[in-house]
Chain A
Amino acid sequence: MSIGHTLLGLLESGPRHGYDLKRAFDEKFGHDRPLHYGQVYATMSRLLKNGLVEVDGVESDGGPERKRYAITDAGITDVSAWLEQPEKPEPYLQSTLYTKVVLALLTGRSAADLLDNQRSEHLRLMRTLTDRKRKGDLADQLICDHALFHLEADLRWLEMTAARLDQLAEVVAP
C-alpha cells in the first residue's frame, strides 16, 4: 500500500500535525502494522519536496517544533490519480507452494502430506480471522474478509492440486 497517498488522502479533510496523521492512519488502516514516527516524517518530507503538501503552520509551545501540514492542489490531483488507477492483479504464478510441491515430487517425498499440512495451516489462520471478524466492527470485518477470500482461493488451489497430484507427477517426474 502507498503510505504517501494514504496520508495525503487523510489531509484532504483539513491540515494536521504529523502525530495526528499517524494516529488517524493507525486507527483506520494500521490494524496489523501501525506506522513508525520515522515513516511518517520521512514520507511527509518527501511529499513536501514534491509540492504535494505545504507547511500550514509551526507550533512549539515550549516543546519541540511541530509542523502542521496541508494538502496542495497538486496533492489532491495525485490522490485522485492514485484512486483512479486500478491495482495490478497479482496472480502469484510460480509461488513457493508450487515449487515445494514439484520439489517433493521430484525428490520422492509425499506431496500429498505437504498439501494436507498446508491446508490445515490455512484453515487455522482462517479460523483466527473468522473469530476476529465475529468480535470486530465493520472495518475489521471487511479487512478480515479480504484476507479470508484470498486464503480461500489458495485453499481451492491446494484441493485442485491434491486431486491432480498423479498427473502432475507424470509431468514433472516421469
Chain B
Amino acid sequence: MTPDGSLLVAQDLHKTYGSTPALDGASFSVHPGEVVAVMGPSGSGKSTLLHCLAGIVTPDAGTITYAGREISSMSDAQRSALRRSDFGFVFQFGQLVPELTCLENTALPLRLNGVRRKAAERTAREWLERLEVDDIAAQRPGEVSGGQGQRVAVARALVASPKVVFADEPTGALDSLNGERVMELLTESARSANTAVVLVTHEARVAAYSDRDIVVRDGRARDLEYVV
C-alpha cells in the first residue's frame, strides 16, 4: 500500500556499487507541495536515494512511482523528458553552465522545454528578482559569489514550475546566514507554487525548514509516514 495522495513513492529500494551496498531497503514518499528532509550520516545513501527518486540512477530492486507511473519501467528518453518537464535540481555547488550568464542559466530549463528566448528570459528574470539576485543577471557564474550562484541555481530549479525539486546539500557551501536565506527562499517559493522538495542535508538547522524528515542509516530509510 502507498501513502494516500503521494506524488512520489519509493518502495524497498536496493542499489549496490560493486560490493558496496548504497541502498539496502529504502522507502520514501512525498506529497505534492511537501518539503521532506533526508538526513543521515555521511555515506549512508542519501544522495543515492535522491538520484534514484529523480530517475538519474536505476535501482537494482524496488519500485519508484511518480504520479502513478512506474519510473523504472520507462525508457531512458521518457525518463529524461520527465526530468525536464516535472523535476528541478539544486546541488551543493551551483552546477551552473560557466559560459552562460546567470539570466541564461536560469532560463535554460524553459529553453530546453521549447519556450522562446524572450519569454523564457522574462520569466527567468522574475525568478532572479524573487531570489534577490536580479542585479547579477548579466554576469557569468565565475563572476559571482557562492551565495549568489546558489540563489541562481534555486531560481533555475524553480523556473519551469516543476512538481518536485531535488536539492542535495543546497546550502553545503554557504555560511549560516546565506544558507538560511537560500532555504527560506527555496521553501517559500516551493510552497507558494505547490512544488514538493526532497532536501538532502546533514544540517539540522537546514532540515528545520522542512515539513517532515526521514533518516537514512546504512542504506535503509525509515519513512514513518510510510504505511506498509
Complex CA–CA separation, A163 to B210 (angstroms): 24
Closest to A125 in B: B208
B209 CB-CB contact with A under 8 Å: yes
Complex CA–CA separation, A66 to B175 (angstroms): 50
A122 CB-CB contact with B under 8 Å: yes
Closest to B217 in A: A162
Across the interface, A123 reaches (CB within 8 A) one of B41, B184, B208, namely B208
Residues in A whose Cβ lies below 8 Å from that of B207:
123, 126
Contact B210 A127 (CB under 8 A): yes
A116, A122, A123, A163: most-surrounded residue (chain B CB, <10 A): A123
Residues in A whose Cβ lies below 8 Å from that of B205:
126, 130, 148-149, 152
Interface flags for B175-197 (1: CB within 8 Å of A; 0: not) read 00000000010000000000000
Residues in A whose Cβ lies below 8 Å from that of B184:
134
Tell me the minimal C-beta distance from B218 to chain A in angstroms: 11
A155 CB-CB contact with B under 8 Å: yes
Complex CA–CA separation, A151 to B204 (angstroms): 9
Taking residues whose C-beta sits less than 8 angstroms from the other chain, chain A's interface range is: 10 to 19
Contact A130 B41 (CB under 8 A): no
- Knowing A134-B184, A159-B41, A163-B41 touch, does A148 contact B215 (C-beta < 8 A)? no
B24 CB-CB contact with A under 8 Å: no
A129 CB-CB contact with B under 8 Å: yes
Question: What are the 9 A-B residue pairs with the smallest beta carbon separation, nearest first?
Answer: A126-B208, A130-B208, A155-B204, A152-B204, A127-B208, A152-B205, A148-B205, A130-B209, A126-B204
B168 CB-CB contact with A under 8 Å: no
Tell me the minimal C-beta distance from B84 to chain A in angstroms: 32
Taking residues whose C-beta sits less than 8 angstroms from the other chain, chain B's interface range is: 10 to 19
Interface residues, chain A, with chain B CB atoms under 8 Å away: 116, 119, 122-123, 126-127, 129-130, 134, 148-149, 151-152, 155-156, 159, 163
Contact B209 A123 (CB under 8 A): no
Closest to B222 in A: A116
Tell me the minimal C-beta distance from A118 to chain B in angstroms: 12
Complex CA–CA separation, A73 to B104 (angstroms): 64
Other than A129-B208, A152-B204, give 16 A-B pairs with Cβ distance below 8 A: A122-B204, A123-B207, A123-B208, A126-B205, A127-B208, A127-B210, A130-B205, A130-B208, A130-B209, A148-B205, A148-B208, A149-B205, A151-B204, A155-B204, A159-B41, A163-B41
Complex CA–CA separation, A119 to B214 (angstroms): 11
Tell me the minimal C-beta distance from A122 to chain B in angstroms: 7
Residues in A whose Cβ lies below 8 Å from that of B203:
152
Residues in B whose Cβ lies below 8 Å from that of A127:
208, 210
Complex CA–CA separation, A127 to B209 (angstroms): 6
